[in-house]
Structure 1
Amino acid sequence: MFRMKNKLDELVSRGEQIRIALVGAGKMGTGLVNQISRIKGMTTSIIVDEKIDKAYHALDSAGIKKEDIIKTNSIQQAELALSKNKFVITDDYTLSYRLDKIQGVVDATGNPPFGAQLAMESIEHYKHIIMLNVECDAVVGPIIYDYARKNNVVYTGTAGDEPGAIMELANFAVGAGFNLLAVGKGKNNPLDNYATEDDLREEAISKGLYPKMLTAFVDGTNTMLELTSVANALGFTPDVLGCHGVTADIKEIPSLFSLKEQGGILNNYRVVDFCFGIAPGVFAVVTHDTKEVHDLMDYLSMGKGPNYVLYRPYHLTSLETPITIYEAIVEHDPTIAPEKGQVSDTITVAKRDLKAGQYLEGIGGKDVFGKITSHIDQRNRKLLPIALITKKTKLKTDVKKDELITYDMVELEEEQIITKLRKKQDELGL
């Protein structure tokens, strides 16, 4: 990280800095603003939120003076403000990518349809796009990534989120010469596939979260989406529908995540999974094919093998995002991107009995939850990726609780960019 600090110091010495736009001033976005405010050479020049008071609060909490915060939807006024090193708040998301001084856009909305639109428009305007929106990445990341490469900008997930933290472990393992067998994350919240925001509203408010966000954590959908993003970056799949989700301490991981014939739980290697008992950490299971390395791993107290676990006991969510911003804008290197295409998918399962004609509540709602499967399985059974559900997605047939929902059971909102992108992505085989 001293390379990052030195490069940023060089920018400051030339009177320059990295300028980013943040879209979404919730808990993660506000944390990011505060973190960036203490990094010389990097600034959150513009914050977009439909609730303008939240954008103001994000800057105010970071110690930005009131007179330095300009509220405007005018591109001319915004450009003038940035030229004077002021900060802009707005509810017009297009300002995030229309301003010449902005180099990168951070999506911290968690809204899949909007995220797809923001990403494509940002890339169209040659802005790097940093996604704190795994919900969008998991369903149309491959085609957005392809579009970004063609426009010579970086599309990336972020350090601090579990997918980025897992990818850092995977990069280390492969770079050091190990064979990567499995990767995963600790599950922070208890798992209740049928949880609703009514069940969790009081807890969510006490934690400063939207109830739907906490619901997506508890019902498992968020974990499935995160593992889908990891799978699409590594070319991995879940070993079984929805993963094993075992309970274990970290010392048990190497033996558990071995093949069944070795006494473990796995049918195959090159898989993603999650585990209770090691949260908030992430892990990678590795092995090697030489006796000398096994002997040295034993000497280093890494276990008897043949499998070993590499473990990171924390992830700092948006507080680590400045690293990704730097890597994307200065080094043109993504933290995590769906380079392998749509290898896995998070599909849709009914939380309760549903009736034909009703509009579906998507991620974090009372109607459905997500489970990860291979993209081949999703395609063969025509299963509906959960992140394609919008406010106008309507059921065409009755659905029973725990039934997997397929494309032919719903009317999708065909005019939504996320729907169009997924259709094109599937046609191109990305």
Structure 2
Amino acid sequence: MNLSSLLLERAALGRPVRVGLIGAGKFGSMILSQAQRIDGLHMVAITDLSVSSARESCGRVGWPEELYSARSAGEAVTSGKTFITDDVHAMLSCPEIDCVIEATGHPLAGTRHALACIEYGKHVVMVNVEADVMVGPILAAKAREKGLIYSMAYGDQPALICELVDWVRACGFELTAAGKGMNFEPRYRYSTPDTVWGLFGWSEEDVARDKLNPKLYNSFTDGTKAAIEMAAVANGTGLDCPENGLAFPPAGLHDLARVFRPRSDGGRLDSPGLVDIAASQEPDGREVANNIRYGVFVTFKAHSEYARNCFRQYGLLTDPSGWYASMWRPFHLIGLEASISVLSAVLRGEPTGSSKEFRGDAVATAKKDMQVGEMLDGEGGYAVWANAIPARRSLALRALPIGLAHHVRLKRAIRKDQIVSYDDVDLVDDDDVVALRREMEDRFRPQSAVAAE
């Protein structure tokens, strides 16, 4: 809880924390809105495919134009201004930059950017959960081998869940489950970019004002983003994904400890130690009272009668038995909080959550019956949704990770709700990312999968 003090001490020595940002979309814009207000943090460079769009983002969040007028990263370092470019290597070759935030949301580009950051000796804050769930464990390992930090982004839900998990374990409680809230009904699973705004509840004016991407927001609605994030949490915490994917049980704050406990004790979990989602709507569309739609949570168990009594005495929300309790955070502010990860990496040498093992996977699953020759269009599209399953099951099925399910052609017909396998598709391009994924699968293969073979 001393990051701001540590930052001011460093700034007083004339050594601000120097940062680069890749991707000036919604998440990147939120980062930029705060960066100008943090004494001792200097946004040296912003890289985006569209320089003009990045400039628009800076203007939209209140930056004076003079602030982003530097003509090179070197000039930005000496002047205190910001350089905007479409050349990632022009940013990464700046030796003074300490940490880079990858916020493109594109799994293939994000993977390549993270590898380049590590090669250039930069800490990485990986907003790009799409890339992290696909190859995060091996990216984190490569960073560690170079003495660098590879971190989840604080403010995004996976990092906040990892923080709560750490709290449970550091307090000595028995961790039962972890997850987040989400607006979800079973019918949302088959949402497309054409139907998403009606389900999301935003008007045409909202969409136009903020230039919202329907495919991105459809990935939130159809459960894909939830699968990606919960599999990433599994990889960062040692928890497991449910055998057949996330169940999305409806639950409000007062019911978290009752619902997210094992079935043997009256709950909805097949076993303790799982990730899942607390749906904020019932299957018929009724809103759950006191839901946690924007928040994150953990449930945990008392180890003794004494601890159980303390739960009651200090007002924890528990299950009817009093043995299981919950802790939560009611909101997440994504990019508005991401500086915590940057400062933690640079000033403390600690990630705010990081993939340690290959325990969960987010795999492509058909939204409809599809024929040979049809194309998969990736996260949030018309063809597939992502299911969060144990990595050992993914490997046994040769399941196609959702991050590799974009612009690939089917060579076998598949049925609605069928998990797509590598054998069902032609992977033509992206050999480097596919090779890295294969390397991760081999290097981090779960022992249960090895035993099964």
TM-score range, shorter chain: over 0.9
Distance 1:267 1:257 in 2: 10
Q: Does 1:57 find its partner at 2:56?
A: yes
Q: Does 1:307 find its partner at 2:324?
A: yes
Aligned residues of 2:73 and 2:91 also touching (Cα < 8 A): no
Deviation of 1:212 (Å): 0.9
Deviation of 1:204 (Å): 4.3
Residue 103 of structure 2: aligned partner: 108
Q: Does 1:255 find its partner at 2:261?
A: no
Deviation of 1:146 (Å): 0.6
Deviation of 1:294 (Å): 0.7
Q: Deviations over 1:80-114 (max 9, x none)?
A: 33222221001112223111111111011110000
Deviation of 1:235 (Å): 1.3
Q: Deviations over 1:152-202 (max 9, x none)?
A: 100010111111111111111111111111001000455611111122364
Distance 2:397 2:43 in 1: 44
Deviation of 1:378 (Å): 0.5
Distance 1:414 1:209 in 2: 28
Select between 201-210 and 38-47 the one with higher mean Cα deviation.
Answer: 201-210
Aligned residues of 1:189 and 1:217 also touching (Cα < 8 A): no
Secondary structure at the aligned position of 2:348 is classed as coil
Within-5 A mapping of 1:15-414: 15-70=14-69, 77-188=72-183, 192-200=188-196, 202=204, 204-205=207-208, 208-277=211-280, 278-302=292-316, 303=318, 304-339=321-356, 341-391=357-407, 393-413=408-428
Secondary structure at the aligned position of 1:113 is classed as helix
Distance 2:366 2:208 in 1: 26
Select between 393-402 and 34-43 the one with higher mean Cα deviation.
Answer: 393-402
Deviation of 1:8 (Å): 1.2
Secondary structure at the aligned position of 1:223 is classed as helix
Aligned residues of 2:137 and 2:358 also touching (Cα < 8 A): yes
Amino acid at match of 1:211: P
Amino acid at match of 1:355: Q
Cα gap change, 1:210 to 1:108, in 2 (>3 Å): same
Aligned residues of 1:34 and 1:58 also touching (Cα < 8 A): no
Amino acid at match of 2:56: H
Distance 2:443 2:327 in 1: 36
Aligned residues of 1:105 and 1:127 also touching (Cα < 8 A): yes
Deviation of 1:65 (Å): 3.3
Select between 289-298 and 194-203 the one with higher mean Cα deviation.
Answer: 194-203
Amino acid at match of 2:328: Y
Aligned length: 423
Secondary structure at the aligned position of 1:248 is classed as coil
Cα gap change, 1:188 to 1:97, in 2 (>3 Å): farther
Aligned residues of 2:45 and 2:76 also touching (Cα < 8 A): no
Amino acid at match of 2:193: E
Q: Deviations over 1:14-49 (max 9, x none)?
A: 122011111111111111111111000002111111
% same residue: 30
Q: Deviations over 1:301-345 (max 9, x none)?
A: 223521101111111111110111000111110001011x11010
Distance 2:192 2:172 in 1: 44
Q: Which stretches in structure 1 are left out of the alignment for 5+ residues?
A: none
Cα gap change, 1:62 to 1:197, in 2 (>3 Å): closer
Deviation of 1:220 (Å): 0.6
Cα gap change, 1:31 to 1:259, in 2 (>3 Å): same
Distance 1:348 1:62 in 2: 36
Secondary structure at the aligned position of 2:294 is classed as coil
Deviation of 1:347 (Å): 0.9
Q: Which runs of 4+ in 1 moved over 6 A?
A: none
Cα gap change, 1:62 to 1:404, in 2 (>3 Å): closer
**Which residue among 419, 431, 439 is the counterpart of 1:424?**
439
Amino acid at match of 1:138: V
Amino acid at match of 1:47: I
Aligned residues of 2:154 and 2:160 also touching (Cα < 8 A): yes
Aligned residues of 1:23 and 1:49 also touching (Cα < 8 A): yes
Select between 183-192 and 228-237 the one with higher mean Cα deviation.
Answer: 183-192
Distance 2:34 2:13 in 1: 23
Q: Deviations over 1:265-308 (max 9, x none)?
A: 12111100001232111110001221111111111122352110
Secondary structure at the aligned position of 2:147 is classed as coil
Q: Deviations over 1:394-427 (max 9, x none)?
A: 2111122222111100112454432111011112
Amino acid at match of 2:350: D
Distance 1:250 1:90 in 2: 45
Deviation of 1:357 (Å): 1.8
Cα gap change, 1:218 to 1:256, in 2 (>3 Å): same
Cα gap change, 1:287 to 1:247, in 2 (>3 Å): same
Aligned residues of 2:184 and 2:248 also touching (Cα < 8 A): no
Distance 1:401 1:390 in 2: 18
Select between 237-246 and 317-326 the one with higher mean Cα deviation.
Answer: 237-246
